[in-house]
Amino acid sequence: MGLKRLITEAEKLLRTVGIEEPSVQVNKDPSFGEISSTAAFQLAKSLGKSPVIIAEEIASKIDVSGSELISSVEAVNGYVNFRANWVGYSRTILEEIFMGGERYGSSGVGAGRRVIIEHTSVNPNKALHVGHARNVCLGDTLARLYKFLGYDVLVLNYIDDSGTQMADVILGFMELGYSLEPPPGMGFDEYCGDVVYVEAVKRAESDPELAEKRRQITREIESRSGKAFELNRMIVSRVLKDQLRTCWRLGARYDVLNMESDILTYGLWDEVFEKLKAAGAVYYAESGPKAGCWLLDLSGHPVLSKEGDEVLIKSDGTTTYIARDIAYAAWKLGASSKDFSYEVFGENPDGSRIYVTSGRGDVRIPVSSAVKVINVIDVRQRRPQEIVKYALKLLGLDAEKYIHYGYEVVALSRKDAERLGYSPEPGQRIIHMSGRRGLYIKVNQLLDMLRERAAKEVRERHPDWSDEKVLETGEKIAVAALRYALVKQDTDKMIVVDTDEIMRLEGDTGPYLQYTYARALRILEKADSELSTSPPAEPSEPEKNLLRRMAYLPILLEEFHSSMLIKPIADYAYTLASEFNIFYEKVPVLRAEGGERAFRLAIVKAFTIVFSIVLDLLGVPRLEVM
């Protein structure tokens, strides 16, 4: 492999001069050489010498005459720097890319290992807003990355189909006279969330009689019998189908939908509760404000203990959501003798099936032996997630496998909120979401606006295109703009979506990445000569920069495997695109001749391979023409 092979050669050379455990890393500044070793600093104490002197001694002893990829070694300020033989190195990089093809950069490290990723998990009573979209895009990008690394990835979506949020919707239909059919032009999920739910909450808060009826509906849903339960099943299914269509627009896919009501029915909690009691992890409160409750003992946790123990079973005998989460987490770790049966719910756009928990189902999907269980949940759930993890530890399970992949919330810029019909308060610069108040920017609403803006530009550039092609291209640009904006930031940073910024064709945006990919394809379309991985002479600096950037992808994916950070992948996509555009501007390709032309065409071809991989990992749709 290109860069790895270069590092391996450097390590071998260091061993020939007595460095038993050579440390070699990529130089941030390639003017000092492609890679360097810090061996001199590691030996300084034991040898009682300055790292500068040790580095000079090491460099003077190394013989590169037999090396294929390293041309020279020099000592600089205690570092041992290795310069590449670019004629051989560039050929090695290109050959590795062409040999790897669409799997270039995948080490296959996950072969035979399972990762469970749960994301989205939006209550089935409303349409998805842009905050949910960040969850969807982060979770789906994780799934894409782990799958690329060879893992068996199982994507779950937890559906909270019980509780007061569903009772409110059922109350609206059963007691407030709302029709089961939404107004023309409004999705059922949007209708439930924006109209029925908001009005039912408002009425129940001011009318004690309606509040009591809501409690009765909640009990009936949980009992899994009666008119309210049957109506709830139908509402959940209809809303969920609309929600999935939104997620599909964003490029996500799912394997399993787990209904909370089924988690209760299958008795996961009962089994886990007995194990917690056996472990001495829970106790019954005989007196005090929590008398009659069962609590999880958090006294052994250095942080959680400061806020008191956690109620798992209330005095009326009902479980809290944290109790249910603990049972569900134990199941995901394969620690429950209970298991679900499934039936087919539908199909993803790629044709793969989606299964849903069902007492009538005859499909089994075992979850045991996962090496990681990743839960994409916003940072506001940090404490509950830490409680779940601690409970798993008390149960004697490997709690380190249970990972809370937290992220900050998403808001919208004032001008975009106004474009979408909202009236922000005076001085309010960003708009936060509130489902209970019906104030949330829906994903479909935002994508539609972005698509129309993109389609207008596409129509002007391609007046001969059909309306269908214009809208299809506009949709891909809209998805690229939003999805990339939601995954490129650090997860601990709040995102304020500004459509003017994310739609730009210059700078760190999804459309810029699409434009760059299409630009590279245009070169290959116009080419009429063979490609060559052998440079006729040492490549120019723009060629080197692009080649070394492409060579870095395998290392980057190794780093993701340990860090689980998506932002470096997005940063890499932008940097790689920028390097290509500099190459495009400074290095003639189609105007070049002979071996020079063939070599540069090979670089462009390699770029399209590497960049298509990165775009697919990020979920940015590829465009052949922009």
Q: Among residues of the chain, what percentage have pLDDT more than 70? A: 99
Domains of the chain with CATH codes: 2-84 (3.30.1360.70), 411-502 (no CATH), 510-618 (1.10.730.10)
DSSP state of 196: I
pLDDT digits (tens, 9 = 90+) for 298-325: 999 999 999 999 999 999 888 898 999 9
Q: What is the pLDDT of residue 435?
A: 54
Residues 485-524: b if buried by 16+ CB within 10 A, e if exposed: bbbbbebeeebbbebeebbeeeebbbbbbbbbbeebbebe
Length of the chain: 626
What's the confidence (pLDDT) of residue 433?
Answer: 65
Residues 145-191: tens digit of each pLDDT:
999 999 999 999 999 998 789 999 999 999 999 999 999 999 999 99
- What pLDDT score was predicted for residue 367? 86
pLDDT attached to residue 438 = 52
Angle at 86 between CA 560 and CA 513, to 5 degrees: 45
Count CA atoms within 13 Å of residue 227 on its CB side. 6
pLDDT > 70? residue 430: yes
Supply φ then ψ for residue 224, to 5 degrees: 65, 35
Neighbours of 459 (CB within 10 A): 15
CA–CA distance, 286 with 362 (Å, rounded to integer): 44
Q: 290: how many CB neighbours lie within 10 A of its CB?
A: 16
Write down the pLDDT at residue 424: 77
At 441, the pLDDT band (50, 70, 90 cuts) reads confident
pLDDT tops 60 at residue 617: yes
Q: What is the pLDDT of residue 437?
A: 56
Mean pLDDT of the chain: 94
- Of 316, 330, 345, the closest CA to residue 267 belongs to 330
- Average pLDDT score over residue span 602-625: 98
Q: DSSP readout, 500-527? A: HHHT-SSSSSHHHHHHHHHHHHHHHHH-
Tell me the C-alpha distance between 98 and 90, whole Å.
12
Alpha-carbon distance of 477 to 513, in angstroms, equals 10
What order of strands is seen across the sheet that includes strand 282-284?
Answer: 282-284, 294-296, 310-313
> Is the predicted pLDDT of residue 544 greater than 60, yes or no?
yes
pLDDT tens readout for residues 95-136: 999 999 999 999 889 999 999 999 999 999 999 999 899 999
- Bridge partners, residue 370, by sequence: 114
